A and B are shown apart, each in its own frame.
Chain A
Amino acid sequence: MSNVRPIPSPSTPYDDRAQEVDHPSSLVAKFGMDQPLRLDCGVDLAPFQIAYQTYGELNADRSNAILICHALTGDQHVNNVHPLTAKPGWWDTMVGAGKPLDPEKYFIICSNVMGGCMGSTGPASINPVTGKAWGLEFPVITIPDMVRAQAMLIDRLGIATLFCVVGGSMGGMQVLQWTAAYPERVFSALPIACATRHSAQNIAFHELGRQAVMADPDWRGGRYVDEDTHPHRGLAVARMAAHITYLSDAALHRKFGRRMQDRDLPTFSFDADFQVESYLRYQGSSFVERFDANSYLYLTRAMDYFDIAADHNGVLAKAFAGIKTRFCVVSFTSDWLFPTSESRALVHALNASSARVSFAEIETDRGHDAFLLDVPEFFDISRAFLQAAGKARGLANGGSQS
């Protein structure tokens, strides 16, 4: 077994990652002891901070603001080079000049979620009471908590009503929470590849990931920062397992098939003989360069707890009763993590609430990740929806062709 290579330790210096956690290279909104964030678990979190990026200009009416909600392992760096990985923004396909979310037309905001590790307060942040990283002493965060924090940020930016709230996966959950909690503050909503509750299968996958992190001896009960270790192997395994759920059988087969990695014959060992193994290991090892293991525990937990209907006596339609927001719900045919049936259940509830909803299922074999990729049909419907909503909102150039 001598030729089996373990997942390497992160090459990004720890100090760089720690810098982004507490002093991010983003805009930061700080909330003091007088403005606590009331969490669902009963804790008032104060002080706390939200790291965010903006693109484009807010118009004089303050009517062209779009909030992008990022997914589980995303962050606020939507459309700029990432400060840790030096890779392009995670939604460059959707955001940019001539793209559906065009900073020439809209004022685009994206904030790192509470519990994240790119500048918003989370388990990797310094607990001001102890002077050490919060670790597992950080209170459990929910999707409604994330949205409550975003609403405080939007207040601070002086925006009463968002033109649109958009996001995929966990970002889509936040979109739905926005419309359920602040319907009058959301003119239009674009929830993508998401659900109104996390399914048992999805909770199961998350538990697998968390157990992988916690089984790593370097996790040290969550105190790895103090003990100068890092559970990168456990976190990488969690990422590898999760990454499979973001793809599809067809996409994996098309991309890799049974092709070998830099060899023609099997090595009769447990090294990465197959390209697909090598790819997964790469996904795992690059993830640990930029993500905090405890953050992964907290954010997966937030998704597990998400269930809008449960907050409304089990009746989903009640969450959206009388809502005026215009919805466009999008799902992808090969997404088995958030299958179309989940989106349809949402659409039925919105219909039952007389909401103004459109829904499209996009045909693609690229699985859940399709919303991050170049899928023209998805861009077409997003652009069409935003332009029509822009007209209804009275945005000067909202309805123009780009």
Chain B
Amino acid sequence: MSIQQALPLSGVAPERTGSYRTDHLLVADMVQPDSRVLDVGCGDGELLELLESRGIDGRGIELSREGVNHCVARGLAVVQGDADTDLVNYPDDAFDYVILSQTLQATRQPRVVLENLLRIGHRAIVSFPNFGFWKMRLQLLIGGQMPRTENLPATWYDTSNIHFCTIKDFVQLCDEINVKMERAVALDLYGRPVPLNLPWWVWNMFGEQGVFLLSRGGQGK
């Protein structure tokens, strides 16, 4: 089953579906129509544009000036800023969803960032590369070197990814800070969802990245 079949997105022309990144399509599918979304680390605005094409009111934060320029040229509302330092300035409950796509591992304080996401938004959507992916494990186990993949080609000394984690690690953090997982999807190397009925350790082994829809847990634990 291809990802396109898995994600028939309303409002996205079928011939365009293929031009979007699969994790973006997955994220877009998690967002209810007519909602307000903040995309933290929005890059060149591809995901935001996809969301706005579906009638969602989107805002972005992006660290790089080139990224901001691209976004502004696309007519998107994007603020130059840093997830680590600027999220504190957003008021509580300002958005329906706050998205952190492939950025968590590059923050200095992932736990604080995650807490802020769910303070600003009623829900958070977080995707990140899974360091428990079998190829990663194999490179470390057999090769004895820090793993590098097609999606994460940087060497250890020049990578901006300073806080890698596995899907299992992330689930544990969500538990610790009382965050509820409403939906979890692991995508394999080809961007296909790992079947739902398989146990966690399979996800942690065969998921190249994880995409999570999160909400605030109940009071206390």
Report which A residues bind B (CB closer than 8 A): 326-328, 344, 347-348, 351-352, 354, 356-363, 377, 380-381, 384-385, 387-389, 391-392
Contacts and interface: CB of A to CB of B under 8 A. Distances in A.
Interface in B59-81: 59, 65, 68-69, 71-81
A219 to B, nearest CB: 45
Given A351-B59, A360-B65, 11 more contacts: A348-B89, A351-B79, A352-B90, A354-B94, A357-B59, A359-B80, A360-B68, A387-B73, A388-B74, A388-B76, A389-B75
A381 B79 CA distance: 12
Given A351-B59, A352-B94, A358 B36 contact: no
A344 B61 CA distance: 12
Q: What are the 7 tightest A-B residue pairs by CB atom distance, in nearest-first order?
A: A388-B75, A384-B73, A359-B79, A348-B89, A356-B77, A384-B72, A358-B72
A381 B68 contact: yes
Contacts of A363: 65
B195 interface: no
B99 to A, nearest CB: 16
Contacts of A327: 77
Nearest to A329: B79
A385 B72 contact: yes
A361 B80 contact: yes
Given A328-B72, A384-B73, A388-B72, A358 B65 contact: no
A29 B110 CA distance: 58
Interface of B: 36, 59, 65, 68-69, 71-81, 86, 89-91, 94
Contacts of B59: 351, 356-357
Given A352-B91, A357-B77, A377 B65 contact: yes
Nearest to A345: B89
Q: Is the interface of A mostly helix, strand, loop or mixed?
A: helix
A23 to B, nearest CB: 43
B79 A357 contact: yes
Among B78, B79, B91, the most chain A Cβ lie within 10 Å of the Cβ of B79
B74 A360 contact: no
26 contacts: A327-B77, A344-B81, A344-B86, A344-B89, A348-B89, A348-B90, A352-B90, A352-B94, A354-B94, A358-B71, A358-B79, A359-B68, A359-B80, A360-B72, A360-B80, A377-B65, A377-B69, A381-B68, A381-B69, A381-B72, A384-B69, A384-B72, A387-B73, A388-B72, A391-B75, A392-B75
A206 to B, nearest CB: 29
Q: Is the interface of B mostly helix, strand, loop or mixed?
A: mixed
Contacts of A360: 65, 68-69, 72, 80
Contacts of A380: 69
B68 A351 contact: no
A392 B69 CA distance: 17
Among A358, A359, A377, A381, the most chain B Cβ lie within 10 Å of the Cβ of A358
A344 B86 CA distance: 9
A380 B66 CA distance: 10
Contacts of A352: 90-91, 94
A356 B91 CA distance: 15
A361 B59 CA distance: 17
B90 A358 contact: no
Contacts of A328: 72
A361 to B, nearest CB: 6
A360 B77 CA distance: 11
A157 B73 CA distance: 30
A220 B69 CA distance: 52
Contacts of A354: 36, 94
A331 B158 CA distance: 29
A148 to B, nearest CB: 29
Given A358-B79, A360-B80, A361-B80, A351 B73 contact: no
B89 A351 contact: yes
A380 B36 CA distance: 28
Contacts of B89: 344, 348, 351
Given A352-B90, A363-B65, A358 B73 contact: no
A351 B90 contact: yes
